Structure 1
Amino acid sequence: MTVIRSNSSNLRMGRRSLLQSLGAAAVGISFAGLAGCGKKEESAGGGKIAPTGEEPKLNFYNWDTYIGETTLGDFKGASGIDVNMTLFASNDELFAKLRAGNPGYDVIVPSNDFVERMVAADMLVALDQAAIPNVKNIDASFMDVAYDPGRKYSMPYTWLTLGIGYRKSKVKAKPDSWKVLFDSDEYKGRIAVLSEAGDMFRLYGKYLGKSVNSLTPADVKSIEAMMVKQKPFIKAFHEDNGQDLLLKGEVDLVLEYNGDIAQIMAEDDDIDFVLPKEGSQLNSDTLCIPKGAPHPKNAHAFINYLLDAEVDKKITETILYPTPNAAAKALMPDDYKNNPVIFPPADQLAKCEYATYRPDMQPLYEEAFTRVRAS
């Protein structure tokens, strides 16, 4: 299987190693001075950014190291705006943090179903697309989506799918079914799964032959019983670090996103990724401005910067997720564009679905999952 290999001019760090190399805590990281580290370079794309009239600060709430190695420093150099990035580990955590009121974030990165949920809760600002001209770089198929028609509240950042990352030398055969994680003691004590309630219940639904969007309260009850039965065989409900557990040998199989596994496949030839035969869930992570953002003009400028082709290329080289930015993808090498882990074949994607936000079911997922975790 083809994987990306970093060359000497573009050393790729894992999602967590960037933070570790900076010695930064995962609660608030300022990248104001990053542009000045190492040899001087012009900002990668984007050009100089006109002053917005706001104080030169921006608070960014993001997944762990889900950004290029120099992106925030480059933005500082182009705009004079100091970005403070704070990290979250799940959409549930993001939503809970903002539900009681925005504590000061300007740009956030919710997944597609949580965009729907936050719009329904009046938590997002309608975007001024005139202030985001780089929207022209986005592939047209990502522009009019069911969860945000016309992209009124969100801009696409990545798309992704969930599957099984595994260590080839530790499995008897390719683990091509959710059964190995959800309904078997074959790899007891050697597996890790997600800590996000909705994703877990929907993927169990896929295993049972259902659509991720068709679960009923009775299904939740049945799946909860399956989860409780399986729990003794699970080593960890991971917090956005499943790829690290696999790379370090702490587990041999993990439910993870394809981009995270693609990252560690570039470091360890014994690691692979499979989309289970029952199908999976697609996600799209997005860039949004929450209500109460203290720097909305800076936020628009930042989102526009991230959608620049050269800027997104550098982000994509680091995080190795599928990009919806057609202009950036065109700049990427063939071993990215043709990587079947990053871009699964059409017949596999045909069995995958985007989740929609269901206000009738989300509380049931969360309440049941809390009981599973406490059992």
Structure 2
Amino acid sequence: SKVPEDWSYLWEYKDKLSRRMTLLNDVREVMGATLKMLGYSYNSTNPQEIKKAYETLVELKPSIASFSSDAWRSLILSGDLWIAMCYSSDAAEIMAENPDLQYVLPKSGSSLWTDTLAIPKTAPNLEGAYAWINFMLEADVAAQMCERLSFATPNQKAFKLLSRDIQEDPSLFPEESALERCEGLAPVDEVSELYDRYWTQLTSG
């Protein structure tokens, strides 16, 4: 089969991929990806759009081996899985173990994520907390974090310290045009129960 380009690949080849694919065990990521494929926002609050995404996933359900955020790793390395929805940092780790595996950022878009550092209001050592954050933001430290954890860095000084291979790794630093099609997860409080109800129906049984 051709190399996957978008989420629609899973539906197009669902018979060939039957029980050889996994999706994340995460309602917002799975529903969001399906919404995105259908041309809607990852963060849709439109009940009709959310229902359409659910119905589309129901069509795929018989071909899904499991909803897994971790177990897919050993299964794809052993060849029991052929395709897995996963986080980019996990994909980078797995590709380091098996260079034949490939990471794909779906052309209709995906979710954007960041790890953040925050200081609680009740922190007993505010000065120490700021010192730790400043240390983590030092260029050489941020560059090491990127290399060791396969996490992208927004630190431009750190980016310049990275090897060209890492700088040009699309799983870490996608092209701007690809990022523009992605969305950060936003609260959907007014329809969160609807998402949860559809998710329970989808993943049970």
Q: Computing the radius of gyration over CA atoms, which structure comes out larger, 1 or 2? A: 1
Q: Give the superposed CA RMSD.
A: 2.4
1:260 paired to 2:81: no
Aligned to 2:62: 232
The one-character-per-residue Cα deviations of 1:331-350 (angstroms, maximum 9, x if unpaired) are: 11111111222212233223
SS at the partner of 1:225? helix
Distance in 1 (CA, whole Å) between partners of 2:23 and 2:52 is: 18
Gaps of 5+ in 2: none
Aligned to 2:183: 353
More strand per residue: 1 or 2? 1
Distance in 2 (CA, whole Å) between partners of 1:293 and 1:197 is: 33
1:322 paired to 2:138: no
With the length of structure 1 as denominator, give the TM-score of the two structures.
0.49
Q: Percent identity?
A: 34
Matches within 5 A, 1:1-375: 172-181=1-10, 184-240=14-70, 242-290=72-120, 298-375=128-205
Q: Which amino acid aligns with 2:5?
A: D
The one-character-per-residue Cα deviations of 1:174-195 (angstroms, maximum 9, x if unpaired) are: 0112123356333011101111
The one-character-per-residue Cα deviations of 1:251-278 (angstroms, maximum 9, x if unpaired) are: 1101112232222222322111112232
Q: How many residues align?
A: 204
The one-character-per-residue Cα deviations of 1:277-301 (angstroms, maximum 9, x if unpaired) are: 3222222222224565666554444
Q: Is the 8 A contact 2:24 2:30 kept in 1?
A: yes
Q: Which amino acid aligns with 1:278?
A: S
SS at the partner of 2:177? helix
CA 292–182 in structure 1, closer or farther in 2 if over 3 Å, else same: farther
Q: Is the 8 A contact 1:213 1:356 kept in 2?
A: yes
Q: Is the 8 A contact 1:180 1:186 kept in 2?
A: no
Q: Which amino acid aligns with 1:255?
A: M
More helix per residue: 1 or 2? 2
SS at the partner of 2:196? helix
SS at the partner of 2:65? strand
With the length of structure 2 as denominator, give the TM-score of the two structures.
0.85
SS at the partner of 1:327? helix
